[in-house]
A = this chain, B = another copy of it.
Amino acid sequence: RVDGTRLWDSLMEMAAIGATPAGGCNRQALTDEDKQGRDLFLRWCRDIGCEVRIDRMGNIFARRAGTDGAMPPVITGSHLDTQPTGGKFDGVYGVLAGLEVLRTLEDKGIKTTAPLEVVVWTNEEGARFSPAMIGSGVWAGEFSLEYGHSRADKGGATIGGELERIGYLGDEPAEPKPITAAFEAHIEQGPILEKQDQLIGVVTGVQGIRWYDVTFRGTPCHAGPTPMADRRDPVQALAWLCERLYSEVKAYSDDARMTCGDLRAEPGSRNTVPEKVVLALDLRHPQPEGLEHLHRTLYRLAEQVEEATGASIDVREEWHSPPVVFDESCIEAVNSAVERLGYSHRKMVSGAGHDSVYVSRVAPVSMIFVPCAGGLSHNEAESAEPDHLEAGCNVLLHAMLSRAGV
């Protein structure tokens, strides 16, 4: 069994970096705060004698040697970056649960057959740099290194430049080596476990995600003298499209999701009809056909915008992460661990994207969820119970040991 108090204390120590007045964290990818978080993690890893490697995407791999030098590692991990108004557990829990597994084995003097590795993936959130999960995505071969390095934030700073600036542009190639199995512990970020009073989610896959930059274009003109009938107003077009898309998405299925996370008007002057409005749109569905349906609904409505409102529209797909089904044997490893430990549990599909999505392209993977209060995440009030976090970490320990061998 792991040390739940030590795990909690480490979570709180990490949460102090980028702590916000409202009790959350702002430790966005590759900022000074992210660097501090990484530095702290490295110190902890070296304290227990891990060997550390950093790759060209800034992904960190901390290895505890196994007894069989030839056996590929069992890996675990997640991310240390947060949303701009993020919580203390999203991602961080998966990294520090992995560290706690290594610390526990070190305490007990247990040697595994396969080496174990804890990984910190770069820019999982997709908040500062789009898309999400880009560190694991480049590593797994979904994106090129050039694409990864060139992604820019709203101020124009790039991943490549920021990795160099904070000293985390490593030497290792960002590409996978053979892996025995991979596990990731995470808070659920949704309400299901809490509502059903279950302790552990045995995660069988991840729903599909598509991201779009939707640009509405109009003609800037004066707010006063210009007759409404003469206008090409991008905000009218935005309202027209969103009103219809929200209602079609909600009517389609309870599983469908639509989020308009960001909006920007240009030039952004109150008495000028904007020249353009850019909407950052996120659509999700657990089934490929469902996601395709939402995608087609967006394009169908987009085709009607100009006739309905006069303003034009351009829909650019920014990212597509299709639904993923995890590896049967890894799901079974988690399930057996949960049953051995006697925790209440259910199988479930993740609503959030995770680094495990891309890791699953090159290795057998599954995930372990624990409840979070009110299902709330991407919110400074995100909260989880120490007991639940400890239970999830015990599951991780047993699942990893079952694949690594002792």
Contacts and interface: CB of A to CB of B under 8 A. Distances in A.
A130 B191 CA distance: 43
A70 interface: no
B223 A282 contact: yes
A85 interface: yes
A254 interface: yes
Contacts of A271: 83, 125-127, 132, 259, 261, 282, 353, 378
A392 interface: no
A228 B242 contact: no
B284 A224 contact: yes
A275 B85 contact: yes
One complex includes copies of this chain to the number of 2
A228 B260 CA distance: 12
Nearest to A377: B222
A225 B375 contact: yes
Contacts of A188: 225
A405 interface: no
Contacts of A277: 263
Contact of A378 (B223, B233, B377, B379): B223
A246 interface: yes
B236 A242 contact: yes
Contacts of A209: 224
A211 B249 CA distance: 33
For chain A, what secondary structure do more than half of its interface residues adopt (helix, strand, loop), or is it mixed?
loop
Given A221-B378, A242-B236, A243-B243, A267 B83 contact: yes
A373 B233 CA distance: 19
Contact of A83 (B83, B243, B250, B269): B269
Given A229-B254, A270-B280, A379-B221, A263 B262 contact: no
A293 to B, nearest CB: 15
Tell me which of A233, A261, A282 has the highest count of chain B C-beta atoms within 10 A of its own C-beta: A261
Nearest to A349: B225
B227 A191 contact: yes
A265 B182 CA distance: 37
Indicate the member of A225, A262, A376 with the most B CB atoms within 10 Å: A225
19 contacts: A126-B269, A127-B267, A127-B269, A189-B226, A220-B378, A223-B259, A223-B282, A225-B350, A225-B352, A226-B257, A228-B258, A230-B375, A235-B260, A235-B263, A240-B243, A259-B273, A260-B274, A262-B269, A263-B263
Interface of A: 83-85, 125-127, 130, 132, 188-192, 207, 209, 211, 219-230, 233, 235-236, 238-240, 242-243, 246, 249-250, 254, 256-265, 267-275, 277, 280-282, 284, 350-353, 375-380
